[in-house]
Chains A and B, each alone.
Chain A
Amino acid sequence: MARNPLIAAATAVLALATLWAPAQAHTSQAPLKEAPGGFSFETDIFGRFDVRSLQRGYKVYAEVCSSCHSMNLVYYRNLCQQNGPFYDPKYPNPNDAPKCKAIAAGIKVPDIDPDTGDAIQRPATPADHFLNPYPNKAAAAAGNGGAAPPDLSVMARAREGGAHYIYSLLSGYKDPPASLNVPDGKYYNPYMPGDMTSSWTGPKDKVPEGGFIAMPFQLVPDRVSFDDGTPSTTEQQAKDVATFLAWAAEPKQTERREAGFAVMGYLLLLCGVLYISYRRIWRNVGH
């Protein structure tokens, strides 16, 4: 979860000091790629997001990912809250923000008519969570070769590498090596953690890194056209949607880091005052 080199180094030292040993499975995976220019929330010391990247990322999610993946923990109102993609300081209550109302109004969600009890479709409101593309889990599984596409709400926290992993996976599809038997309905991706020993017919010490994934390559160039004129390359779309998912996984993270600086400053000051008090109170005690 490191967000800049200083914090990364300090975290590493503290983690070592407490001897947290990272999990090491027998699966393999290619070393993750760095997104060009880095992620805004990592290069910014307060963990602030590049709002334009967030907005583009939301568009990638809305136009590509959301046709198969739910985000049940994210609500349309979240898009307009502080540090969100469409935050407008004029509307401190995100439910009032016209942008979120407009986004929600364009989406039909299932509901029950309170008068008749009939199943109906109504326009969404900012208080609705992102529309689930399938009516239920069984339908999601049936439509995707037996395994439901995972919910993306906390995906950036649920995989080693977070946004770096998402970026690498989405932009890292490659043609499978010749000696690899790719099962029907599966695709090779060097960044997908996996163990391909049983599908490999080449030399035993040359099993390729990576695994099989049920999702085919999605982010072909110009799949999404960005409103701000940013060239829609595979890398750009992958980076923006990874940024959006990193935000969605913990929408309060910028608030957390900003508060952290104030808290650390206060604690260090208090620490100094208490140390001086301690020296003063003990000054006449031989010990």
Chain B
Amino acid sequence: MSGHPPSTYEPKTGIERWLDARLPIIRLGVDLMDFPTPKNLNYWWTFGGILAVCLVTQILTGVILAMHYVPNGDMAFNSVEHIMRDVNYGWLIRYIHANGASMFFLAVYIHMARGMYYGSYKAPREVLWLLGCIIYLLMMATAFMGYVLPWGQMSFAGAVVITNLFSAFDQIIPGLGTAITTWLWGGFAVGGATLNRFFSLHFLLPFMIAGVVILHIWALHVPGNNNPTGVEVKSKEDTVPFHPYYTVKDGFAIVAFFVVFAWFVFFAPEALGHVDNQVMANPLVTPPHIVPEWYFLPFYAILRSIPQKLFGVLAMFGSIGMLFALPWLDTSKVKSMRYRPAARVFFLLFVAAAIGLGWCGGKEPDDVVIALGKSETGDPTGFSVVWLSRILATYYFAYFILILPILGLRETPGQVPTNISTPVLGGAAMPAGAAAQAEKKG
């Protein structure tokens, strides 16, 4: 069974019948709420709803911030401080927005990892996965430009580093990269014009994300949800209506997520930031150690692991490109890694590699991971961060282009249940959440 069942909505009043014949919007809402959803979804599946709430939170707080923010090179930094000091609850709105970006990425990484573990990108959900990748790409662009807006030292340095990546294309066609960067900057250096256009785009992109989210949900509702077994829904016994079953479960998860979110907002609002961004942008002073926000660190590590700039840039974009190709790289017919013991190990190593790359991205490339000796100045020498990045980046790419294609052809998967209800109803009915806990151990 896939897609929406015949609509159960029956207009009861004259006005409803009139509207239903012209714009069946109530029918749409009712059908969405009635959507048959696999009954075995665990807590990893709540992050879709959490992400929707994150997007709404960012748009609401962002629109209010835009009422007080001034996108001008001389005034931006002080206008942000004006929000913090003089706007009623401005500190709250701004800290929700700034930490909300981190929470958004935390949730999206869990959401993506869930999709990768349970094979949610496989047929018939490739388009659903691709739309998710596009959302992720738009999120990265939005977050990058948003980080530039406070116009602190790290904002400025980040804008310089990222826009300069495009100058690497000079190595393909001389002049091309320079032309692109000049076009991006609106001048010959990062400056007021750059800030103003980044503000404009930072306001625009979230609404584009919202549009792609609608497509993402549409593409979800055609094949229906994947589930922890990876076995498609076969009968009505396998599903429950979305409301009230998943509205209440997602609602619980969203509020639990808000507890973590609120902790950062109220008690550690700058823990994920950088002190240098409290200094107004000054093109004449470069911060000693430029680091992006934590959610970009793995890609930053991949970029820096290759000394040749063009190939570093290509590797960085390629690492995101891998995600787009994923549905066609995984050759296994079995969706869920619950029944793929070997794949499970490789996947956990992949997660560890991604986290390890994030750690490397926050360090200096020459920092020593394993000290083997001492230089004449007494500093340790040995196995450095840049080499660790190279090893981890190699595994990152190998997971996509070697391990998944080959493993799917060679591995012996475990016994896959015939339907969703069998594996869990074989014994006594499990209490809610037990399935999720079992998954965590895997």
Using CB atoms and an 8 Å cutoff, list the residues of chain A in contact with chain B. 1-3, 7, 10-11, 14-15, 18-27, 72-73, 78, 150, 153-154, 157-160, 197, 204-207, 249-252, 255-257, 259-261, 263-264, 267-268, 270-271, 274-275, 277-279, 281-282, 285-287
Chain B, interface residues (CB within 8 Å), range: 35 or more
Closest to A158 in B: B278
Q: A153-B81, A260-B266, A281-B244 are in contact. Are A287 and B377 (CB under 8 A)?
A: no
- CA A157 to CA B278, docked complex, whole Å: 6
Bound-state Cα–Cα, A248 to B15, Å: 59
Which chain B residue lies CB-closest to A3? B267
- On chain B, the residues within 8 Å of A286 by CB distance are 39, 421, 424-425, 429-430
- By beta carbon, the residue of chain B nearest A282 is B432
Q: Is the CB of B255 within 8 A of A11?
A: no
Alpha-carbon separation in the docked complex, A241 to B432 (Å):
55
Contacting A at CB under 8 A, from B116-165, are: none
Q: Is the CB of B85 within 8 A of A252?
A: yes
Contact B256 A271 (CB under 8 A): yes
* Min CB gap B300→A, angstroms: 11
Q: Residues of A contacting B378 with CB < 8 Å? A: 204-206
| Chain B residue at minimum C-beta to C-beta distance from A206 | B378
In the assembled complex, which residues on chain A have CB atoms less than 8 Å from the CB atom of B263?
10, 14, 264
The answer to whether B259 and A267 touch across the interface, beta carbons within 8 angstroms, is yes
Give the chain B neighbours of A197 by CB distance below 8 A: 377
Bound: A10/B260 CA distance, A: 11
B407 CB-CB contact with A under 8 Å: no
Q: 25 A-B residue contacts at CB 8 Å?
A: A10-B263, A19-B359, A21-B362, A24-B364, A25-B364, A150-B279, A153-B81, A154-B279, A204-B376, A205-B377, A250-B91, A252-B84, A257-B266, A259-B266, A261-B266, A271-B252, A271-B255, A271-B259, A274-B251, A274-B255, A278-B252, A282-B245, A282-B248, A285-B39, A287-B430
Which one of A15, A251, A261, A270 contacts B271 once the chains associate, using CB atoms below 8 Å?
A15
Name the residue on B nearest A264 (C-beta): B262
Instruction: Give which listed residue, A14, A207, A267, contacts B268 with CB less than 8 A.
Output: A14
Closest CB in chain A relative to B379 CB, distance in Å: 8
Would you call A274 and B248 a contact (CB within 8 A)? yes
Neighbouring A residues of B345 by C-beta, 8 Å: none
Say whether A73 contacts B81, CB under 8 Å. yes
Query: In the complex, how many angstroms separate the beta carbon of B187 from the nearest chain A beta carbon?
Result: 22
| Whole-angstrom distance between the Cβ of A4 and the nearest chain B Cβ | 10
Tell me if B355 is interfacial: C-beta within 8 Å of chain A: yes
Query: Is A20's CB under 8 angstroms from B362's CB?
Result: yes
> Chain B residues near A154 (CB, 8 Å)?
81, 278-279
Contact A1 B270 (CB under 8 A): yes
Interfacial chain B residues near A267, Cβ < 8 Å? 255, 258-259, 262
Shortest Cβ distance from residue A258 to the other chain B in the assembled complex, whole angstroms: 9
Chain B residues near A204 (CB, 8 Å)? 376-378
Say if the beta carbon of B106 comes within 8 Å of chain A.
yes
B362 adjacent to A22 (CB under 8 Å): yes
- Give Cα distance in the complex from A99 to B78, angstroms: 26
Q: How many angstroms from the CA of A285 to the CA of B239 in the assembled complex?
A: 10
In the bound complex, residues from chain B placing their C-beta under 8 Å from that of A15 are 268, 271-272
Q: A250 contacts B84, CB within 8 Å?
A: yes
Q: State how many angstroms separate the Cβ of B410 from the closest Cβ of chain A.
A: 33
C-alpha spacing A204/B264, complex, angstroms = 43
Known contacts A7-B267, A281-B244, A286-B429: does B259 contact A274 (CB below 8 Å)?
no
A205 in contact with B376 given A259-B266, A281-B248, A286-B424 (CB within 8 Å): yes
The answer to whether A260 and B267 touch (CB under 8 A), given A21-B358, A23-B291, is yes
A158 neighbours in B (Cβ, 8 Å): 275-276, 278-279
Interfacial chain B residues near A264, Cβ < 8 Å: 259, 262-263, 266
**Residues of chain A contacted by B355 (CB below 8 angstroms):** 19
Please encode chain B, from 342 to 382, with 1 for each CB lying within 8 Å of some chain A CB and 0 for all others: 00000000000001001101111001000000101110000
| Interchain CA distance A249-B240 in the complex, whole Å | 52
B313 interfacial by beta-carbon distance below 8 Å: no
Whether the pair B294, A19 counts as a contact (CB closer than 8 A) is yes
Most buried by B among A23, A25, A267: A23
CA distance A255 to B265 in the complex (A): 12
B 399-442 binary contact with A (CB < 8 Å = 1; else 0): 00000000000000000000001001100011010010000000
Residues of A with C-beta under 8 A to B393: none
Residues in B whose Cβ lies below 8 Å from that of A18: 102, 106, 272, 294
List A contacts of B267 (CB < 8 A). Answer: 3, 7, 10-11, 257, 260
Fill in one digit per residue for B160-194: 1 if any A CB lies within 8 Å of its CB, else 0.
00000000000000000000000000000000000
The 9 closest A-B pairs by CB, nearest first: A21-B362, A260-B266, A205-B378, A158-B278, A286-B429, A274-B252, A25-B288, A287-B39, A23-B289
15 additional contacts (CB under 8 A) given A158-B275, A281-B244, A286-B421: A1-B270, A14-B268, A19-B362, A25-B288, A159-B275, A205-B374, A251-B85, A260-B266, A278-B249, A278-B252, A282-B245, A282-B432, A286-B424, A287-B429, A287-B435
> Which residues of chain B come closer than 8 Å to A19, judged between CB atoms?
294, 297, 355, 358-359, 362
A252 to B89, CA, bound (A): 9
List chain B residues, Cβ under 8 A from A206: 378
Contacts of B226 in A (CB 8 A): none
Is there contact, CB below 8 Å, between A73 and B255? no
A197 to B376, CA, bound (A): 12
B120 to chain A, nearest CB (A): 19
Question: Which residues from chain A contact B294 at a C-beta distance below 8 Å?
Answer: 18-21
CA of A231 to CA of B20, assembled, Å: 80
The chain B residue with its CB closest to the CB of A165 is B275
Q: How many angstroms between the C-alpha atoms of A274 and B248 in the bound complex?
A: 7
Say how far B184's CB is from chain A's closest CB, in angstroms: 26
Give A73 to B280 CA distance when docked, in angstroms. Answer: 12
Query: Known interface pairs A205-B376, A250-B84, A286-B429. Does A263 touch B245 (Cβ–Cβ under 8 Å)?
Result: no
A20 and B272 contacting across the interface, CB-CB below 8 Å: yes
> Does residue B40 face the partner (Cβ distance < 8 Å to A)?
yes
Nearest B-chain residue to A255, judged by Cβ: B91
Chain A residues near B318: list those with CB within 8 A.
none
Rounded to whole angstroms, the CA-CA distance of A145 and B92 in the bound complex is 40
Min CB distance A256 to B, Å, is 6
Q: Do the beta carbons of A20 and B271 come within 8 Å of each other?
A: yes
Across the two chains, which residue of chain B brings its CB closest to A23?
Answer: B289
Contacts of B91 in A (CB 8 A): 250, 252, 255-256
Which residues of B are found within 8 Å of A279, using beta-carbon distances? 432
